[in-house]
Amino acid sequence: MDPEQAAPPPAGRYAPSPSGELHVGNLRTAVLAWLFARTTGRAFYIRMEDLDRTAVGADRQQLADLAALGLDWDPPVVYQSQRLSSYRVVVDTLRDAGRTFECYCTRREILEAPSAPHAPQGAYPGTCRDLTPAERAERRAAGRPPAIRIRTDVDRFTVTDILHGEYTGMVDDFVVQRNDGTPAYNLAVVVDDAAQGVDQVVRGDDLLSSAPRQAYLATLLGHRPPEYAHVPMVLNPKHVRLSKRDGAVTLADLLERGVTASGVLNHIAHSLGLAGRHESVELADLADRFRPNELPREPWIYSMSEWGE
């Protein structure tokens, strides 16, 4: 990822957080990310987003589960925790250009602050944007460490999504570095995608609303925003996002119940309209049949009854 090296080839990626085992919804998104990348001649990378809470060994288990489904990826597997210096350089560059400011607000203060007209709840209200040096010194003296926010010059930004078309969303003065010095997700993901040549981002549609912020930041940093494909989530029968509480949702859970890794792939393929209910398929078969415009647009409602129970 040396900036003096030749530009990397176009790529897609899958970027799990190694906080635990992948569930069926995660695996389905990984299969889709692989299909989007491989059927368009792109490299395919795995990136571990391990800046927050992680579980010991979860990264190795996640890689093993992906491999069990037949996914392959281009080396190396990137760990965000090993790229802290790269994020600091970008934050410092933005600061030196006058594009950041220190923010001393708590999350509660932001939620309770009066919002600008038509601004969504939770949008940053600009409280610390124009503090004087004396006001900043007063807040520092109170012992509250600041987060670093980007000083935006737009309030909305439009991205293009393969499944959703043009999507325009809010861009506020979002955090690029948390008050403990950790790079924020919205910064790290943009820096990493640019460094790896990722020009195609496939992920769950719960993240669609964050795309305008990230695309805006990419543009500000001189990068072309990636092509997006925000794919439908997997929900439980109560139409709530899937979690460990929903029973047999991980590959290990399903293996214990006699469902093979091939069987899991078959169910995922069937949920995507890429295989018959009891058809046995491999990823190569799915690649031959893959048509992004024919993918389901609604969530997959996951129930163990589908697995013969």
The annotation places the binding site for L-glutamate at 13-17, 49, 185, 203
Annotated binding site: 13-17, 49, 103, 105, 124, 128, 185, 203, 244
| Angle subtended at Cα 159 by Cα 191 and Cα 232, rounded to the nearest 5 degrees | 95
SS3 for 191-236, per residue?
A: HHHHHHCEEEEEEEHHHHHHHHHHHHHHHHCCCCCCEEEEECCEEC
3-state secondary structure of 166: strand
- Enter the DSSP assignment of 9: P
| Angle subtended at Cα 35 by Cα 32 and Cα 40, rounded to the nearest 5 degrees | 135
Annotated binding site for Zn(2+): 103, 105, 124, 128
Annotated binding site for ATP: 244
Q: Are 265 and 284 in contact (CB under 8 A)?
A: no
Please state, in angstroms and rounded to a whole number, the distance separating the CA atoms of residues 219 and 225. Answer: 7
Please state, in angstroms and rounded to a whole number, the distance separating the CA atoms of residues 94 and 184. Answer: 14
